[in-house]
Structure 1
Amino acid sequence: MTHEVRTLSEPRLLSPAERELTAWLLNHGCSDAPQFLTQLDRAEVVAHCQCGCASVDFSVAGRQPLTFAMRVLSDYQWKDDRGYHFGVMVFEQDDLLAGLNVWSIDGQATPHELPPIHLLVPYGTPNE
């Protein structure tokens, strides 16, 4: 999975919403996802997706992954109030917490904002 990113001139702290969602995803992901919570306190946003979605890439204590080999730690989906279907995942690369990715599942809209946690269901849950 690739996306065109724009590197920030200066890393920034995660927003409260980015931090809360990433922590929730790590606590509700694969069996070893919670071990990445310790990296969250040292994570900064170093890039964002150019399409305008809410996806961001992280560095941890100034370190970024050297390879693109990605492993999904947690993968969820939701529908917004208009009925558009989106996905959100947190992933690691080179044993570093590497990013938060949001995307359109149905291709109908771009997820410009992060999802409310109460709307998240595991990815692949049948649509209602």
Structure 2
Amino acid sequence: MDQPTGNRVLTPDEHRLARWMLEHGNAEASAFLQQVDLAEVTTWKCPCGCASINFQIKGQPLPLPGVNILGDYLIGEGDEVSGAFIFESGGLLSGIEFYSLGGDALQYLPSTEELRPYEDAKRA
């Protein structure tokens, strides 16, 4: 059986965040929008305690290891900036990763209003 036990449906906030990240992501990102409705959150938990989540698409095996970023964003200001990206592997939407850029990686799911494209920071 390809689907491990313990997967759960995305919460409304997770679904909204994933959809928004894809809608505002790179040129490839929109091709993964329909997978959001088929995504389930796996039981994997990041050892650092951040809010990162991994996906499994219903009816598909777990994605292969590897990360192809579909949208990269910043959250916060000054010394409290962290990042978040949505990614795929092997054509399957694979998860949302939260990472540190000085402080701690986010331990909560941000609202879409808190996100700004990482590219904007590189231009500033």
Q: CA deviation at 1:68?
A: 1.6
Determine which structure has the larger helix proportion and give its number. Answer: 2
Q: Does structure 2 retain, via aligned residues, the 8 Å contact 1:44–1:60? A: yes
Percent of aligned pairs sharing the same letter: 35
Name which of 92, 95, 99 aligns with 1:99: 95
Q: CA deviation at 1:10?
A: 0.5
User: 2:45 and 2:9 mapped to 1: Cα distance?
Assistant: 13
Deviation per CA, 1:59-109: give whole Å up to 9, x if none. Answer: 0014211x32210000000106x9511101000001000001011111x22
Structure 2 SS opposite 1:48: coil
Where structure 1 has 5 or more consecutive residues not aligned to the other structure, the ranges are 1-7
Q: CA deviation at 1:9?
A: 5.0
Name which of 86, 91, 116 aligns with 1:121: 116
Tell me the TM-score normalised to structure 2 length: 0.84
Matches within 5 A, 1:1-128: 9-46=5-42, 47-63=44-60, 64-65=62-63, 67-79=64-76, 84-106=80-102, 108-124=103-119, 125=121
Q: CA deviation at 1:42?
A: 0.7
Count of residues in Structure 1 that have an aligned counterpart in Structure 2: 118
